Amino acid sequence: MKIYDVSMTIEETMMVYKNKPEKKPMISFASTFETGTVYESLLTMNLHTGTHMDFPKHIIKGGMTSRALDLERLITKVIVLDMTDLDKAITAKDLEDHDINKDDFVLFKTKNSFSEVFDFDFVYVRQDAAQRLAEIGVKGIGVDALGIERDQEGYPTHKICFESDIIIIEGLRLKSVPEGTYQMFALPLKIKETEALPLSVILTDHA
Ligand SMILES: [Zn+2]
């Protein structure tokens, strides 16, 4: 069985959205052998840093939180689609070349997976593509950018997904994963009532 770890490594130098300093994780010492008898680290991190899932509250005031978490929807078969030929965005037209069906969980592999620095022109899921995916009835969308969209006023891609109960996973690393079908294990930290959850995401070819 081949195992692909498609999560981002959490480290202080990691790529964060728009290179914002406040989005960088901070790892400090709660206790060291100089200050105490044990060694303990303290991690301070925005929940949208690194690989994570979004909940409606991220965009919609009063929206659902991590209380809606359903592990059965995160441990599932997924399809990785190769979109590495695209430069700016995934559009509804781009989806036509791919076989996407109702109840699929799709992961889009794009040029984003090949960059270790934040690209302000990252490939995103344009509103019309989100609309098409909602019409098809996909269960989830995973992207290899730190945002499923950019520069779209009112965050329509997020809204379409949330209204259609489509799971959003952001910050995947798919460089070494060939197009195909996989078993996904997306395991979140169990945090109560938040608008996002950090994920560790593993794909296996044992689908
Ligand atoms: Zn997010």
- The pLDDT tens digits of the residues spanning 58-106 come to 999 999 999 989 999 999 999 999 999 999 999 999 999 999 999 999 9
Domains of the chain by residue range: 3-7+47-204
Q: How close are the terminal C-alpha atoms of the chain, in Å?
A: 10
Strands 89-90, 196-204: pairing is unpaired
**Cα-to-centroid distance, 146 and ligand 1 (Å):** 7
What pTM was computed for the model?
0.96
Reply yes or no on whether the pLDDT at 173 is more than 90. Answer: yes
**Cα-to-centroid distance, 66 and ligand 1 (Å):** 13
Domain at 3-7+47-204: CATH code? 3.50.30.50
Rounded to an integer, the average pLDDT of 178-185 is 98
- The pLDDT tens digits of the residues spanning 1-40 come to 999 999 999 999 999 999 999 999 999 999 999 999 999 9
Q: What is the dihedral of CA 80, 86, 92, 96, to 10 degrees?
A: -60
**Cα-to-centroid distance, 122 and ligand 1 (Å):** 15
**pLDDT level of residue 206 (50, 70, 90 thresholds):** confident
Q: What letter does residue 8 receive in the DSSP assignment?
A: P
The share of the chain scoring above pLDDT 90, in percent, equals 98
